[in-house]
Structure 1
Amino acid sequence: MDASAGRSPQGRTVGQVSSAGAGGGVSWPAVSRASVEGGVTMAMSLVERSVSAVTWQRYSAVWQVWEVLLENAQAGIADRQACLLYFIGNAYSEGASAATVARSLSALAFWFKKKGEEDVTKSFLVRQAMKGFRRGSAVRDRRKPVSFELLVAICELLREVCVSAFEVRLFTLAFSLAFFGAFRISELVSASKSVAGGLLYADVDLDGSCLSCLLRRSKTDQEGRGFVVRLYELPGSRVCPVRGFREFVAVRPEGPASLLVHADGLSLSKFQFSQVFKKCILLSGRGGAGFSSHSFRIGAATEAARWGLSPAMVKKIGRWESDRYRLYVRPHLL
Structure 2
Amino acid sequence: MAPSTRRAYATGERSFTCYCQSMNRSPWPASSDLVEDYVTHLFNTGIASSTLSVYLSAIARYHVMHNWPDPTQSARLKAILEGARRMNGVHQDQRLPITPDLLRQLHSRLHLTSNQHIDQRMFGAAFTLAHHFLLRVSEYTSISPARFNPDATLCLDDVHYDRTMLRCTIKQSKTDQRRNGVTLTMQRAESPFVHDVCTGYSEIRRLLYPANFPFFMHASGRFLTRSDVTEALKKCLPDSCDRMRYSSHSFRIGGATAAAADGQPVDAICKKGRWKSASFQRYIRPFPNT
TM range (shorter): 0.7 to 0.9
1:142 maps onto 2:97 in alignment: no
Q: In the TM superposition, what is the alpha-carbon distance from 1:212 to its structure 2 partner?
A: 1.0
In 1, Cα distance between equivalents of 2:38 and 2:274: 36
Q: Compare relative contact order (CA 8 Å, sep 6+) and give the higher one, 1 or 2.
A: 2
The residue number in structure 2 matching 1:192 is 144
The residue number in structure 2 matching 1:106 is 57
Q: In the TM superposition, what is the alpha-carbon distance from 1:326 to its structure 2 partner?
A: 2.2
| Contact residue 233 and residue 243 of structure 1 kept, 8 A | no
Which AA in structure 1 matches 2:56?
Answer: L
Mark the runs of 5 or more structure 2 residues left unpaired by the alignment. Answer: 26-33
The 1:213/1:123 distance shift into structure 2, 3 A limit, reads closer
In 2, Cα distance between equivalents of 1:277 and 1:53: 20
Which AA in structure 2 matches 1:155?
Answer: H
Q: In the TM superposition, what is the alpha-carbon distance from 1:108 to its structure 2 partner?
A: 5.5
In 2, Cα distance between equivalents of 1:103 and 1:317: 22
Q: What pairs with 1:219-298 in structure 2 (closer than 5 Å)? A: 219-233=174-188, 239-250=193-204, 253-255=208-210, 257-281=213-237, 283-298=238-253
In 1, Cα distance between equivalents of 2:227 and 2:15: 24
Q: In the TM superposition, what is the alpha-carbon distance from 1:301 to its structure 2 partner?
A: 1.4
Structure number, greater radius of gyration: 1
Question: Which residue of 152, 155, 166 maps to 1:211?
Answer: 166
The 1:106/1:325 distance shift into structure 2, 3 A limit, reads closer
Identity of aligned residues (%): 27
| Contact residue 214 and residue 226 of structure 1 kept, 8 A | yes
Which AA in structure 2 matches 1:246?
Answer: G
The 1:60/1:316 distance shift into structure 2, 3 A limit, reads closer
Mark the runs of 5 or more structure 1 residues left unpaired by the alignment. Answer: 1-51
Question: Which residue of 273, 276, 285 maps to 1:318?
Answer: 273
Give the CA RMSD over aligned residues.
Answer: 3.7
Q: In the TM superposition, what is the alpha-carbon distance from 1:244 to its structure 2 partner?
A: 3.2
Q: In the TM superposition, what is the alpha-carbon distance from 1:100 to its structure 2 partner?
A: 3.7
1:58 maps onto 2:14 in alignment: no
Question: Which residue of 278, 285, 288 maps to 1:330?
Answer: 285
The 1:236/1:303 distance shift into structure 2, 3 A limit, reads closer
1:176-232 superposed Cα distances (whole Å, 9 cap, x missing partner) = 000111111121112222223421111111122311111222233333333211133
TM-score normalised by length of structure 1: 0.66
| Contact residue 97 and residue 287 of structure 2 kept, 8 A | no
TM-score normalised by length of structure 2: 0.75
In 1, Cα distance between equivalents of 2:64 and 2:251: 35
Which AA in structure 2 matches 1:141?
Answer: D
In 2, Cα distance between equivalents of 1:328 and 1:314: 11
In 2, Cα distance between equivalents of 1:145 and 1:154: 13
SS in 2 for 1:240: helix
In 2, Cα distance between equivalents of 1:216 and 1:157: 31
| Contact residue 116 and residue 219 of structure 2 kept, 8 A | no
In 2, Cα distance between equivalents of 1:263 and 1:278: 21
Which AA in structure 2 matches 1:59?
Answer: Y
Which AA in structure 2 matches 1:290?
Answer: R
